[in-house]
Amino acid sequence: MRRTAFLLAFLIPGLAFAQSMHDHQMTGMSSTGRQPVQPGQAAFAAIQEIVEILEADPATDWHKVNIDALRQHLIDMDNVTLHAEATGEPIEGGMRFIVSGTGAIRDSIQRMVLAHARTMNGVGDWKFAASDTETGAVLTVQVPVKDVEKLRGLGFFGVMTRGMHHQAHHLMIARGNDPHH
C-alpha cells in the first residue's frame, strides 16, 4: 500500500504536467499567455470571418452556402488588385480607366469592374459605366466638380475600394446570393 501511494505521489504530478503541456500546446498559448490573432493570410481570414458569422446564425441555410464562390471572388480581388495593369486618362468631369491583363487576370478584371460599376453607380453622385474589352475592361467614372481631384488622386485602385459594401457582399456570396443584382 505504501509502495502504491509512493508511486502515485510521483506519477500523478507527472501526468498532470503532461496533460498541462498538451493543453498548453493545443490552445496555442505561448509562455507569455498571448495567443496569435492573425490567421496568416488575408483571403483565409476573410473566409474564416464569414464562416464564423454563418455558424453563429441559426437562420443560415446550409443548402445555399457556397464558400467556394466567396473564395473565387477573393481570387478575383487579388488578381485585380495585385496583377492588373491600369491606366487612367482625364475626361470631362471624371476619368476613364483602361484595365488589362491576360487569362485569369483578364477574367477577374471583367467580373470585378462590371460588378463594381453596377454596385456603385449613383452613390455619392458618382456615375459609373463599364464595358469589357479583349484584354479586360474600361471603367468611366464621372463625378461632381468638387470630387474631380479626389477621383484623380484615387486612381483606378482607390476607386475600386470605395464603398463599404465589400464585407456585406462577401457574406451574400457565401450565403449563395448574387450581391451584384
Q: Does 168 reside within a domain?
A: yes
Of the pLDDT bands very low, low, confident and very high (cuts 50, 70, 90), residue 61 is very high
DSSP line for 26-61: HHT--TTS------SSHHHHHHHHHHHHHHH-TT--
How far apart CA 73 and CA 26 sit, in angstroms, is 32
> Do residues 102 and 112 make contact, with C-beta atoms less than 8 angstroms apart?
no
Q: Does 156 reside within a domain?
A: yes
Lowest-confidence segment of 11-25, 36-50, 98-112 by average pLDDT: 11-25
Joined together, the cell numbers standing for residue 103 give 487569362
Q: Does 137 reside within a domain?
A: yes
Average pLDDT value for residue range 45-49: 95
Q: Does 180 reside within a domain?
A: no
How does pLDDT run across 82-103, given as a tens digit for each residue? 999 999 999 999 999 999 999 9
Residue range of the domain that includes 50: 42-174
Q: Does 75 reside within a domain?
A: yes
Summary mean pLDDT of the chain = 87
Q: Does 68 reside within a domain?
A: yes
Q: Which residue has the cell 459609373?
A: 128
User: How many domains does the chain contain in total?
Assistant: 1
How does pLDDT run across 147-174, given as a tens digit for each residue? 999 999 999 999 999 986 778 888 999 9
Reference 109, options 134, 139, 76; nearest CA is: 76
